[in-house]
Amino acid sequence: MNNPVDLVSNAFTGKHPAFMPYFTLGYPDYERSLQILEACAAAGSDMMELGMPFSDPLADGPTIQHSSQIALQNGMNVARCLEAIAELRTRGVTIPLLLMGYYNPILAYGETRFAREAVDAGANGFIIPDLPPEEASTLETECQQHGLALTYLLAPTSTEARIKLVAKKASGFVYLVSLTGVTGERIQLPKTLSEFVKRVRHHIHHPLAVGFGISTPVQAQQVGEIADGVIVGSKLITLAREADNPAEACGTFVHNMITALHSNEKA
């Protein structure tokens, strides 16, 4: 049986680039966040990034910051996020689930406990934007012992030395931040994105997934031409905030994004 990190890697082996939606656990409330994630999975997501709310989310723009604040007010914490993963598994969600969160709550919870309970709940790995690879050795060891992916981020400003370091430490995939800045919807993709992906691919053979600033099917298709995966978050939060039926709206959006990615199908 494949371990959790293998399932993450395998999510990139389909005929089209992998699609990975992000959504904040506990927004607009606990139950509706699970319903939205169920809808995203049913619509064909290849894996999902589940946001653990934090009071100071440095990498996130106003949309996700707001959702995190609401989720915290709703009582979300590390333990409740782990419960959410287990509940999604109980409801039949089988695709890889990665917890995206910041390091301080994990450190306070205890890295060993966090990794053990995450794998027991059914998580496949972690994305921790404020934990650089140079400082991740203890959590990295815990992830290796439990077969969990620990995904590192690279930005357009990343040096060749940092890219080579991530190449050595990567598991599952590498998250490419499309721009210098925070998450959020953008009118157009950075003109330098293609060159950035090429620069990273020269050193890294793991799948490359691009996030930040992607919000339309056209943008997803464009990213799918150069990368192995597409990550979208802020747009889903906006849909959940504005729609009468958040789960249905988010599911339809995911379906449309994946349909666009079918134009990037491999021969």
What pLDDT shows up at residue 184?
Answer: 43
Closest to 206 measured CA to CA, from 4, 2, 12, 3: 12
Mean pLDDT for the chain overall = 92
Q: Which DSSP category does 17 fall into?
A: -
What pLDDT shows up at residue 55?
Answer: 85
Percent of the chain with pLDDT over 70: 93
Q: What is the pLDDT of residues 117-174, one digit of tens each?
A: 999 999 999 999 999 999 999 999 999 999 999 999 999 999 999 999 999 999 999 9
Domain 4-261 sits in which CATH superfamily? Aldolase class I (3.20.20.70)
pLDDT > 60? residue 181: no
Average pLDDT on 11-33 reads 96
What pLDDT shows up at residue 209?
Answer: 97
pLDDT greater at residue 212 or residue 166: 166
Catalytic residues: 49, 60
184 Ramachandran zone, left/alpha/beta (phi>0; psi -120 to 50) = left
Rounded Cα distance, 19 and 132, in Å: 25
pLDDT > 50? residue 40: yes
Residue 180: pLDDT band with limits 50, 70, 90: low
Residue 254: pLDDT band with limits 50, 70, 90: very high
Q: What is the pLDDT of residues 229-248, one digit of tens each?
A: 999 989 999 999 999 999 99
What pLDDT shows up at residue 266?
Answer: 67
Sheet holding 229-232, edge to edge: 149-151, 125-127, 97-100, 48-51, 18-24, 229-232, 208-211, 174-177, 153-154
Average pLDDT on 8-24 reads 95
Average pLDDT on 64-84 reads 96
pTM here is 0.93
Q: Where are the domains of the chain?
A: 4-261
